């Protein structure tokens, strides 16, 4: 069998002008397709295998990291009290935001709403919001006036394929992990208790929808679960099924324009239900472990969750810093430095709210108008020609040569 | 507990609008944990960028772009100095040519006049003044300073002296990390 075809210079696969995306070469593409036809994957997985998944939690509630192979995603849930929507006065608001950070891949640019970002956002919203997995009515504090707005921010830290699955797992795990502050209502007054006063309460979650992605090759003949980045580049189409462990389909989306037979979709949904139950078990176990660790008072957080025995990790505990001769050093420095420069008297302002400096113009920054001639004389030799030209245009305040700085002071 | 994840990409192609003919263009992006980047992130980006530009040898890669992305994982005080340390280690690990290393140290002056290094968020809140300095590795000079609150010149000089001493520990940590990282390959 042929070896790795890693030549460069193939034609770009996408038609958008991505800035730094290296195009996939023809030999890589052919190699991948041929391997898939022979039921082989790049990393040795079987057709229906997921990559190694790891779920860790951050220090505060609602922060969760999901590693799917090399794909890494972080989700953070936060909440605040806002006025509810007009159409739904007694329901809370859920807001999802997926950020394709440039850290994940050089192809992602900051701030640009790329197609992929819009697609992921829409899919996640459909999967979590429309399936009503969170009880939004329990987020209501005062009907029609104040409700909780739950905001889920998902950051992509590394892109190695299948961002959608990782994002959905991170989102639902973070929502399960999150605790919102307790509120007390006395008549019209709403008091929010801090975590020290009263224990924060978890959100009420009915079910956990998890998305499973299937990638299709050669017009639907071959399918792979959990495509990695290279496989994603050569795939023909993608089918995303979001399901919960009770075998209810929450959302289904097919993109890429492939035509699928009914049997294929049914088969995929069966595979998805198996995978979803496995993943849900993993999530519950991770949540359990975290709860136990927090109860036992152990330190939790990103810094703690990193494995220490690896050669790329190093940890140093708190170390005191010697400060004995600090005062002497500081005193020396202070004595040796020069005195601060003289403060300038308040500037002359021609029009209220406008200040100006410039060559040849009236200097309103601390010099009186009589000193203007002195200033002309003391200017540099190279600029003398410019200065004489300026004098002719002295009265034109709209001249743009030289350096003029106009400041507008805002009056408070 | 403050954690920042740093990623460096480069030298790579740069957009024609952003290219500089004789040096590399450095872009710094600070991604907060919650919400979109705002003014505070922009000012942090500015501080980090100035420090990096002062220590990187940008003239070795003209018309290229270097992108440094900092993702805040948890903020429990001293965020700017944590970002500076992460940035320096990322640039070191990427192998970009630098004239010196830098580290960030935060000092807080509390209401009694005590200087606290590396304050937590709770300590920062109670403090009267908060200062972050970027110290270089060659001569322990101050590369960048960002301060908040009121303090006297004397106190500032004391904080600078403290930061210079603290930076030695940080540079030792850099050395140990790099030694560990490359202990198998070299």
Q: What is the ipTM of this complex?
A: 0.87
Asked if residue A343 lies in contact with residue B175, where contact means CB atoms within 8 angstroms, the answer is no
What is the share, in percent, of chain B residues with pLDDT greater than 90?
62
CB A167 within 8 A of CB A124: yes
Average pLDDT of B104-128?
A: 90
Q: Are A20 and B9 in contact (CB under 8 A)?
A: yes
Burial label for B21, CB within 10 Å (0-12, 13-18, 19+), is exposed
Report helix, strand or coil for A343.
coil
How far B177 CA sits from the closest chain A CA (Å)?
A: 6
Q: How confident is the model at residue B9 (pLDDT cuts 50, 70, 90)?
A: very high
Helices within A24-162 (DSSP H only): 26-37, 115-128
Q: How far is A202 from chain B (nearest CA, A)?
A: 19
Interface contact flag, B74 A60, Cβ < 8 Å: yes
* Contact between A106 and B115 using a beta-carbon 8 Å cutoff: no
Kindly state the tokens that stand for A60.
């505060």
The secondary structure element, H or E, covering residue A175 is helix A163-177
**Contact (Cβ atoms closer than 8 angstroms) between residue A64 and residue A170:** yes
Chain B interface disruption, residue of A77, A97, A102, most B CBs within 10 A = A102
Residue B67 in contact with partner chain A when CB distance is under 8 A: yes
Which helix (H) or strand (E) segment holds residue B30: the answer is: strand B25-31
Asked if the model's pLDDT at residue B127 lies above 80, the reply is yes
Distance CA A168, CA A239 (A): 15
CA A195-A197-A200 angle, to 5 degrees, is 40
Whether B9 sits inside 8 A of A102 (CB atoms) is yes
Whose tokens are 């389909």? That residue is A249
Q: What is the pLDDT along chain A (412 residues), one digit of tens a residue?
A: 433 334 343 333 333 344 567 788 999 999 999 999 998 888 888 888 899 999 999 888 889 999 999 999 999 999 998 888 888 888 889 999 998 988 888 888 876 678 888 999 999 999 888 888 888 888 888 888 888 999 999 999 999 989 999 999 999 999 999 998 888 888 778 888 888 888 888 898 999 999 999 999 888 888 899 998 888 888 888 999 999 889 899 899 988 878 888 898 999 999 999 999 999 999 999 999 988 988 887 666 666 566 555 666 666 666 666 665 656 666 666 666 555 555 555 555 556 666 666 665 555 555 444 444 444 433 333 344 444 444 444 444 444 433 444 444 444 4
Strand partners, B131: B107, B147
> Tokens 């140990």 correspond to what residue?
B176
Residue B50, CA distances (Å) to A403, B54, B134 in order: 24, 6, 10
Please count the residue pairs, one from chain A and one from chain B, whose beta carbons lie less than 8 angstroms apart: 101
CB atoms within 10 A of CB A278: 14
Number of residues written out for chain B:
186
Contact criterion met (CB < 8 Å) for A102 and B162? no
Q: In terms of CA atoms, which chain A residue is nearest residue B157?
A: A330
- Going by their DSSP bridges, the two strands A71-82 and A63-68 should be labelled as antiparallel
Q: What is the DSSP letter of B17?
A: G
Asked whether the beta carbons of A170 and A155 are under 8 A apart, the reply is no
CB contacts, 8 Å: B42 with chain A: none
* Chain A contact for B184 (CB, 8 A cutoff): yes
Q: What is the pLDDT of residue B57?
A: 93
Nearest in space to A152 (alpha carbons), one of A75, A58, A48: A75
| C-alpha R_g of chain A | 31
Tokens 């810094």 belong to A303
The answer to whether B142 faces chain A, any CB pair under 8 Å, is no
For A247, the token pair is: 């075998």
- CB atoms A19 and B13 under 8 Å: yes
Q: Do B74 and A301 touch (CB under 8 A)?
A: yes
Question: What value does the mean pLDDT take over residues B130-152?
Answer: 92
Tokens of B141: 């000079």
Higher pLDDT, B72 or A394: B72
- Would the CB atoms of B154 and A331 count as touching at under 8 Å? yes
Decide if A258 contacts A236 (C-beta within 8 A).
yes
Contacts of B12 in chain A (CB under 8 A): 20, 106
Residue A322, pLDDT score: 62
Give me the mean pLDDT over the B136-157 stretch: 90
Chain B residues within 8 A of A103 when measuring between CB atoms: 5, 7, 31, 69, 71
Q: Which one of B27, B73, B89, B151 would you mutate to disrupt binding with A, by most A Cβ within 10 Å of its Cβ?
A: B73
- Nearest C-alpha neighbor of B66 from the set B24, B3, B95, B120: B24
Rounded to two decimals, the pTM is 0.78
């Amino acid at each position: 069998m042929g070896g790795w075809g890693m030549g460069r210079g193939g034609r770009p696969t996408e038609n958008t002008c991505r800035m730094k995306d290296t195009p996939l070469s023809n030999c890589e593409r052919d190699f991948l397709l041929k391997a898939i036809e022979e039921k082989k994957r790049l990393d040795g997985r079987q057709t229906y295998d997921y990559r190694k998944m790891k779920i860790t939690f951050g220090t505060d509630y609602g922060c969760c990291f999901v590693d799917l192979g090399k794909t890494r995603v972080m989700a953070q849930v936060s909440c605040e009290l806002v006025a509810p929507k007009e159409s739904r006065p007694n329901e809370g608001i859920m807001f999802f935001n997926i950020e394709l950070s440039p850290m994940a891949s050089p192809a992602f640019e900051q701030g640009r709403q790329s197609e992929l970002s819009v697609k992921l956002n829409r899919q996640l919203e459909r999967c979590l919001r429309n399936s009503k997995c969170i009880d939004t009515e329990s987020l209501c504090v005062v009907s029609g006036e104040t409700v909780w707005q739950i905001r889920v921010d998902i950051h992509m830290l590394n892109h190695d394929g299948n961002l959608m699955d990782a994002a959905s797992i991170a989102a639902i795990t973070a929502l399960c992990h999150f605790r919102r502050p307790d509120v007390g209502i006395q008549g019209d007054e709403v008091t929010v208790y801090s975590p020290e006063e009263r224990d924060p309460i978890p959100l009420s979650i009915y079910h956990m929808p998890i998305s499973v992605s299937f990638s299709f090759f050669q017009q639907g003949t071959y399918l792979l679960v959990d495509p990695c980045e290279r496989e994603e580049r050569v795939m023909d189409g993608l089918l995303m099924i979001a399901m919960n462990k009770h075998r209810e389909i929450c959302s289904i989306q097919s993109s890429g324009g492939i035509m699928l037979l009914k049997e294929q979709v049914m088969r995929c949904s069966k595979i998805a239900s198996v995978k979803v139950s496995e993943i849900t078990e993993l999530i519950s176990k991770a949540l359990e472990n975290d709860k136990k660790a927090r109860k036992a008072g152990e330190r939790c957080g990103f810094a703690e969750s990193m494995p220490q025995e690896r050669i790329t990790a190093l940890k140093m505990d708190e170390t005191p810093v010697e400060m004995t001769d600090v005062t002497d050093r500081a005193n020396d420095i202070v004595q040796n430095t020069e005195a601060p420069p003289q403060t300038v008297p308040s500037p002359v302002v021609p029009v209220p709210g406008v200040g100006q400096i410039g060559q040849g113009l009236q200097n309103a920054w601390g010099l009186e108008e009589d000193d203007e001639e002195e200033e002309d004389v003391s200017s540099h030799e190279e600029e003398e020609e410019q200065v004489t030209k300026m004098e002719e245009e002295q009265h034109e305040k709209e001249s743009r040569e030289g350096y003029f700085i106009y400041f507008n002071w805002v009056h408070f | 507990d403050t954690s920042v994840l740093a990623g460096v990409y480069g030298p790579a192609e740069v957009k024609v609008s952003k290219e500089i003919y004789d040096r590399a263009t450095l872009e710094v992006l600070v991604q907060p944990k919650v919400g979109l980047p705002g003014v505070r992130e922009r000012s942090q980006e500015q501080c980090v960028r100035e420090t990096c530009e002062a220590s990187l040898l940008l003239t070795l890669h003209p018309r290229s772009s270097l992108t440094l992305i900092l993702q805040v994982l948890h903020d429990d005080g001293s965020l700017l100095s944590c970002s500076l340390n992460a940035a320096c280690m990322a640039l070191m690990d990427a192998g970009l040519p630098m004239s010196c290393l830098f580290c960030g140290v935060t000092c807080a002056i509390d209401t009694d006049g005590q200087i606290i290094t590396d304050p937590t968020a709770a300590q920062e809140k109670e403090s009267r003044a908060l200062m972050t300095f970027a110290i270089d590795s060659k001569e322990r000079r101050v590369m960048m300073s960002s301060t908040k609150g009121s303090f006297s010149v004397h106190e500032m000089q004391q904080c600078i002296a403290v930061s210079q001493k603290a930076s030695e520990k940080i540079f030792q940590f850099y050395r140990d990390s790099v030694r560990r990282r490359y202990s198998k390959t070299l």
